[in-house]
Structure 1
Amino acid sequence: MASRAGSVDRCSLEKEYIIPADEPFPSYHRQQNNLLKAKKQFPHLGKVHSQVWQTTIRRLHHTWEAFLKRGHGFPRFKKFGQFKSFVFPQFKDNPINGFTIKLPKIGEVPINLHRPIPYGFRVNQVRVLSKVSGIQWYVVVTIESDVSVPDAPVHGRAIGIDLGLERFLTVSDGSFRDRPKFFKSMQSQLKLLQRSSARKQKGSQNWEKAQTKVARMHHRIANRRKDFHLKTAHQLCDQAPTIFAEDLSAKGLTRGMLRKDCVDAAFGQFLSLIEWVCWKRGVYFAKVNPNGTSQVCPHCLATVSKGLEIREHHCLECGYQTHRDHAAAEMVWRRGLENVVAQGLWGTETACQVGLSGVYDLDKWRGAGMPNCEVGRAIAVPVGSASGGCHAIS
């Protein structure tokens, strides 16, 4: 039984992976046992640390399991240079000594240590990662400690953010950040490098040099984008200790006619990074339902239908007028506060200390005859001041 379906005259008996018809599908433990036999047959396999081989087999096993589960998408064989990383899963002692790291079977390797290992943490595993066609190498160190770090509670001033293409990010307080066009700004340079690479004989030294230049350009674009995302995330954490964002489907955004701009903006990467930065800095972060945030007035909750070409929000019910993205950010902020109230994520505190700025006294609503079921819907009435005042929260 061949590993993939195809015509008989298209199957190579020398290179194709063949499984006998009565042979069971290779499990993880069977592949581990076959690894010992392969080391005896091919002595050069012993040059690689045994645990690196074991983690590689586990990655392959997970790939096979995912293939069997979905029923399509046969795993592709890795050619030379396509395997980008390998893992050392455990260490008995700390492998980092100053600005060198000691890797089994490799020895001490000089590194540019970005930050020291915090006191009380131990190195759990090390992943060696290759980028730019094997020219640049990175060591990703995973550390662990017995200390349990709790999630950040809801506290302080809250803001909502809306992501878009006209403006990369709009905050509910009215501030916004323009979208740098990372790929488009360097597309002409990348086009010249790719054209030069296409004219080289494939496999030659000049072709490899040209491929390296193309990879360096892609790496530079990705680094600039990630640097912008991280700096923006830290700036938002400086603005408020509670942040709400839309739960966007990054995969769905890459299928429309604006897919090139959406991929260049990398909204999915930004949401992942800001969630990590908020956790690291003790900022509460939550995602809300993104459906209809730009089609609802944040002041009176009236439906204001508008197409993508309309960039201004003008409500005919209450007369509220602002930029479309700003109204969407306010709606995100409102939904975030509604979820917080519905989940009961804070106790009896004052908004000046740990409560949410801009949240009115719920007792006043109840005293005004508002039903309890409507309290959670009305908590996010925008206030004129971005800082808000002192409002008791029950």
Structure 2
Amino acid sequence: MRIAYQYRLKPTKQQRDKIDHWLSMLCSQYNYLLADRFSWYEQNRCPRNACPLVCHLPELRDSPDYYSQKKTLPNLKKTHPWYKDIHSQVLQDVVKRVKLAFDRFIKGDKNGNRSGRPRFKKKHRYRTFTYPQMKEGCLEGNLINLPKIGKVKVILHRPIPEGFKTKTASIIKKCDGYYLVLSLEDETVPEIKSDINPDSIVGIDVGLKEFLTTSEGETIEIPQYYRKSQKRLKVIQKRVSRRKKGGKNRLKAIKQLGRQHKKVADKRKDFHFKSANYLLSKYDVVAHEKLNVKALAKSRLAKSVLDAGWSSFLTILTSKAENAGLLAVPVSARDTSQNCSNCGKKVPKKLHIRWHDCRDCGCSLDRDHNAAINIRNRAAGQSVLKAQRLLRDTRIGACCLH
């Protein structure tokens, strides 16, 4: 099992300058390697599905891959000696990042979904580097030993669990400082509790009127952190637009805008964790809909959907349930709001109709409450063993960024 813990770093001025210098050099190398891949791609592809009989064929060369680009690093240190200051594995990780970005563009992911054309990074957009291997005992009290940077102070707001091994360490530069993300591995795989109570199951229906409604009739109010901070964000955004491009005052305003956006994101993330912990502390099995959030985020409700953060919440809920040995079961979202939870007959209603009334059985309750009961009934129709198998098939991973 892999999890990630994030801590705040307190580097000295010399260490901050060194981290910034590394990020600048790594950004240049990332862009150079990406340009090499694009150069090969443009020279070795045909814009049409058929070539004319008489045409110019450029000199073909082998496709640059991870290993061929990795072999160029020793020569890079000879032609550009200042790259010797960067740890070799950190430099190799840049090659891996280029490979992953380009593969998603050419081949796509495991489902065949391709991403857009990778973009060249600006200096202020390249903010992370990773040590792929960390030695045991790299943490000494509140100090972490980063190769070629030195011992950096870490604010350990919580201890690392016993038995976990530190696999990788990533340094992230954010608008409000520097952070350390440790990837921890535990050899023991969390098993689903054998004493799970099948009756202790709840269905939840996420929405925009209320953040979620349970099958027991409980509701959690939607906080709308982004909409509440729009007035402040508008003032800072105007401040950015009025500053001269490339000036120091514009950079200060951009940092201020980034801090405000981060504040909103941190509030939303904290709310998601607290909501997930509340549900898992009361129920052994939590059923939810399989939502196509990407499609909803392209509709007229995009701002409200993204402000609610359903996708992030369901990811946190699934990960927390796995770590606790509980179940978070996804079910089909088809007609959960239209079908009657009492008799099962379909009662068509438009989105603005927020109350469910069934003429056949007389069932009358809130639309979201009715949907939550339908979600619970669909999950309850599955056995615990089937739910466990479904959970493993749809598992996103045990890695959860706290």
- Provide the TM-score with structure 2 as the length reference: 0.78
* Equivalent residue number for residue 301 of structure 1: 344
CA distances 1:287-317 after superposition (whole Å, capped 9, x unpaired): 1111110000111111011001111111111
Aligned amino acid, residue 169 of structure 1: L
Counterpart of 2:138 (choices 65, 79, 95) is 95
- SS of equivalent to 1:184: helix
Please give the per-residue CA displacement for 1:143-178, whole angstroms capped at 9, x wherever unaligned. 123323223458221100000000110000010011
Is residue 177 of structure 2 the alignment partner of residue 139 of structure 1? no
SS at match of 1:130: strand
Equivalent residues of 2:40, 2:63 under 8 A apart: no
- Match for 2:180: what amino acid? V
Separation (CA, whole Å) in 2 of partners of 1:64 and 1:188: 39
Equivalent residues in 2 for 1:372-391, closer than 5 Å: none
Structural mapping, 1:1-394, within 5 Å: 2=39, 21-69=59-107, 73-132=116-175, 135-152=176-193, 155-156=196-197, 157-340=200-383, 343=386
Contact 1:312 1:321 in 2 (8 A): yes
Amino acid at match of 1:36: P
Distance in 2 between residues matched to 1:199 and 1:113, nearest whole Å: 40
Q: Distance in 2 between matches of 1:56 and 1:122?
A: 24
CA distance in 1 between counterparts of 2:254 and 2:159 reads 35
Moved more, 269-278 or 208-217: 269-278
Contact 1:154–1:284 (CA under 8 A) maintained in structure 2: no
Please tell me the root mean square deviation across aligned C-alpha atoms, in Å: 2.1
The question of whether the paired residues in 1 share the 8 Å contact of 2:190 and 2:325 is answered with: no
Q: Is the 8 A contact 2:66 2:99 kept in 1?
A: yes
Q: Retained in 2: the 8 A contact 1:152–1:279?
A: no
CA contact (8 A) 1:154 1:242 kept: no
SS of 1:149's equivalent? Answer: coil
SS at match of 1:87: strand
Alpha-carbon separation, structure 1, partners of 2:59 and 2:100: 22
C-alpha distance 24-344 of structure 1, shift in aligned 2 (>3 A): closer
The unaligned stretches of length 5 or more in structure 1 are: 7-19, 347-394
| Counterpart Cα distance in 1 of 2:148 and 2:387 | 54
Cα distance per residue 1:296-354 (max 9 Å; x no partner)? 011111101100111111111111111000000000000111123683869xxxxxxxx
Hey, what's the Cα distance between the residues in 2 that align with 1:166 and 1:249?
A: 18
| 1:52-72 residue CA offsets vs partner (Å, 9 max, x unmatched) | 111110110121122222577
Distance (Å, rounded) in 2 between the aligned partners of 1:177 and 1:237: 14
Q: Which has the higher contact order (CA 8 A, sep 6+)?
A: 2
Equivalent-residue separation in structure 2 for 1:213 and 1:243 (angstroms) = 39
Find the aligned partners of 2:210 and 2:75 in 1 and give their Cα distance: 59
Could you say what secondary structure the match of 1:125 adopts?
strand
**Cα offset for 1:114?**
2.5
CA contact (8 A) 1:312 1:324 kept: yes
Is the CA contact 2:327–2:388 (under 8 Å) kept in the aligned structure 1?
no
**Partner SS, residue 326 of structure 1:** helix
Give the secondary-structure state (helix, strand or coil) at the position aligned to 1:339.
Answer: coil
Separation in 1, partners of 2:128, 2:387: 44
Offset, 1:274? 0.9
Indicate the structure (1 or 2) with the bigger Cα radius of gyration: 1
For residues 285 and 302 of structure 1, do their structure 2 counterparts lie closer, same or farther at Cα, with a shift above 3 Å needed?
same
Using a 3 Å threshold, how does the CA distance of structure 1 residues 72 and 136 change in structure 2: closer, same or farther? closer
SS across alignment from 2:356: strand
Distance in 1, Cα, partners of 2:387 & 2:225: 41
Contact 2:40 2:64 in 1 (8 A): no
Q: What amino acid sits opposite 1:141 in the alignment? A: L
Residue ranges of structure 2 left out of the alignment (5+ in a row): 1-37, 44-57, 109-113, 390-402
Equivalent residues of 1:130, 1:136 under 8 A apart: yes
Identity %: 34
Q: 1:345 to 1:74 in 2, by over 3 A?
A: closer
2: CA distance, partners of 1:344 / 1:58 = 36
